[in-house]
């Protein structure tokens, strides 16, 4: 199924899986420590050169009024991965349920990468070079 369809007094309302993906992506990106919602290295590179696509890295399955969401994210170095994943699950579930009326049965979070801030990465390389001398 590619959309949630509901019949109301004045007609029908359809919510596509892309809309659910966008809601999930925005909700996840609001969590401190989440660097990006991404589907892979190559897709991540291509998104640098094109407009942002919120549905990358998110898979939504709908069965009647139930939704399951699988998403891949990258996190910033220095944050507890378990805490970030738990916060993402909670926020995505809450936002999707509030905005769509769906029952979110599960939110699976795959941590795909850890991003080191540029300053720390440069300092680590300089430290390594000095130790190698």
Over residues 21-44, the pLDDT tens digits come to: 999 999 999 999 999 886 544 444
For the segment 8-20, the average pLDDT, to the nearest whole number, is 83
Of 61 and 6, the one with more pLDDT: 61
Highest mean pLDDT among 3-7, 17-21, 36-40, 120-124: 17-21
Fold of 3-132: Alpha-Beta Plaits (3.30.70)
The reported pLDDT for the residue numbered 125 is 64
Rg of the Cα atoms in the chain: 18
Measure the CA angle with vertex 63, ends 18 and 26; round to 5°.
30
What DSSP element (H or E) covers 114?
strand 103-115
The reported pLDDT for the residue numbered 80 is 96
For the segment 9-15, the average pLDDT, to the nearest whole number, is 80
Beta pairing, strands 34-37 & 58-63:
unpaired
CA distance 63 to 2: 10
The reported pLDDT for the residue numbered 45 is 47
The reported pLDDT for the residue numbered 10 is 77
CA distance 89 to 96: 11
Show me where the domains of the chain are located: 3-132
Cβ proximity of 65 and 103 under 8 Å: yes
Q: Which two tokens stand for residue 17?
A: 């899986």
Taking the model in full, what pTM does it have? 0.74
CA distance 126 to 130: 6
Cβ proximity of 96 and 105 under 8 Å: no
Over residues 45-68, the pLDDT tens digits come to: 444 444 456 667 899 999 988 999
Beta pairing, strands 66-76 & 103-115:
parallel
Over residues 68-119, the pLDDT tens digits come to: 999 999 999 999 999 999 999 999 999 999 999 999 999 999 999 999 877 7
């Amino acid at each position: 199924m590619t959309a949630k369809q509901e019949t109301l007094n004045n007609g029908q309302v359809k919510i596509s899986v892309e809309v659910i993906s966008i809601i999930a992506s925005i909700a996840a990106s609001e969590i401190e420590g989440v660097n990006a919602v991404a589907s892979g290295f190559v897709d991540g590179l291509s998104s640098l050169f094109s407009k942002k696509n919120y549905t990358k890295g998110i898979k939504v399955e709908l069965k009647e009024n139930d939704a399951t969401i699988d998403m891949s994210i990258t996190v910033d170095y220095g944050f507890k991965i378990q805490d970030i994943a738990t916060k993402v699950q909670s926020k995505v579930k809450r936002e999707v349920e509030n905005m769509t009326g769906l029952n979110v049965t599960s939110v699976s979070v795959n941590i795909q990468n850890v991003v080191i801030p540029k300053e720390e990465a440069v300092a680590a390389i300089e430290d390594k070079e000095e130790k190698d001398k």
